[in-house]
Structure 1
């Protein structure tokens, strides 16, 4: 039965990689606002204090773990830490990611490996570890963060484009495989969102106007506009939605 409680996350525990800064912090705030306790894993302690304050202001608990998700055996250790802290794991948001750019003939092998390791391998191993717990529970939500580069080329960000295309494929494969366990696996693909990180791109005299012209409204997105779709994918409201990569892009992909 559908009602307002369909969007409630009361009693749920969400593990969010990179959930203390950037767009990840907005995901942590959104899920806590609807009742989830939050477990953040990140490579540094950047944003921890602010995130703790915002999550606790929503009446929820938050815990942090400083851990490189690409370390051997990191995934199992992270999931075990969540279970030890909260007793269960209901939502995994694979948000951590990096982007490195260079010209095609100058791209370094080590930069390829670094990006693939974080954006794809780290996501895969953590999803695998979480799926073992969620399958025993017979419920769960895995939400992978894609990109416009899940659909398009990125002629100076080759490993990023490759990894985000792969994230879409892995989302579909895991959705199919985990459906019998009542686990939904979906993706969220942010468009061009106005943040401190993208400010130089917005202000670029060439690329800034090009991107704005490609968005039907001409407006870059705001981080807050990703919060509703995240809550939807994490909640019972999306129980019959799986294998979808949801673009939140203001129509960027229409053109």
Structure 2
């Protein structure tokens, strides 16, 4: 599947992975509609640096169904007619708190993270898929299965989705939900010829990391097979582009993690919980 003249909606498109993905699609001759939380004028100015004519911006809270649906409707108006072909869902949050042995203290964080990372993924995938299908005649709920590919959605999950380590008590399970949503959506959207895949990166240097660089470096050294380092944004984007362009890839989670097995590492001389600067 060639990306030339095809348009994609990218959530979190002002961030590291989302922004690099947008630029990669534009380099292939595509269009991008970026959804992010930056103020309209700030986001629009940033996105225009990606491309002055083929990149567009809308401010959106991905956990707000009405906002996402409205943004998808607006996207259909600014891109060439019939060109919407998919999306790359990168937006997520990872709040943290000090480590304690009281699991219930994470309940408020869990509710917030699920609302954005899990429910938001369902909302984004659903609205993008419906927008793609809106470009074609509506033949009802039991329409014949489509034979020609209509598009592809890629969700950014995480290597901590499977298994979810204790340090990622709320973030990890929220990304497990992302995998489940993507798998269910792939089957649901199969008759519409819309593929759904995910990419599960290991640690990528980004704003989500905060002041935890040293901790994560030690975790990668202890838990990754090879290479024992952070993933580079371009390595993640290559995976995303592969899933977009290869029409046989569907209901697949591409792990880009150096073989990292992410459970709590008890092999060292110190209690690993004391090393974690925060509980996600």
Q: TM exceeds 0.5? A: yes
Q: How does 1:170-249 map to 2 (within 5 A)?
A: 170-195=181-206, 197-198=208-209, 200-204=211-215, 207-215=216-224, 216-235=226-245, 238-249=246-257
Contact 1:94–1:143 (8 Å) recurs in 2: yes
Give, in angstroms, the shift of residue 234 of structure 1: 1.6
Task: List, as ranges, runs of 4+ consecutive aligned residues in structure 1 with deviation greater than 6 Å.
Answer: none
Contact 1:185 1:243 in 2 (8 A): yes
User: Any stretches of 5+ residues in structure 2 without a counterpart?
Assistant: 137-145, 264-280
For 1:117-146, what per-residue CA distance to the aligned partner results, in whole angstroms no more than 9, with x for missing partners? 111111112211222233354511111110
Task: Report Cα offsets for 1:46-103 as digits up to 9, x if no partner.
Answer: 66534421334xxx61110012122241232121011111134211111110012234
SS state at 1:90 partner = strand
The RMSD of aligned alpha carbons is 2.3
Q: Does 1:52 align with 2:48?
A: yes
Matched with 1:76 is 69
Does structure 2 retain, via aligned residues, the 8 Å contact 1:92–1:143? Answer: yes
Q: State how far apart, in whole Å, the 2-side matches of 1:197 and 1:101 are.
A: 10
> Is 1:11 matched up with 2:19?
no
Higher helix share: 1
CA distance in 1, matches of 2:250, 2:96: 32
TM-score by length of 2: 0.78
Whether the aligned pair in 2 keeps the contact of 1:28 and 1:55 (CA below 8 Å) is no
What is the aligned residue count? Answer: 242
Who wins on radius of gyration, i.e. which is larger?
2
Gaps of 5+ in 1: 1-5
TM-score by length of structure 1 reads 0.85
Q: Secondary structure at the match of 1:73?
A: helix
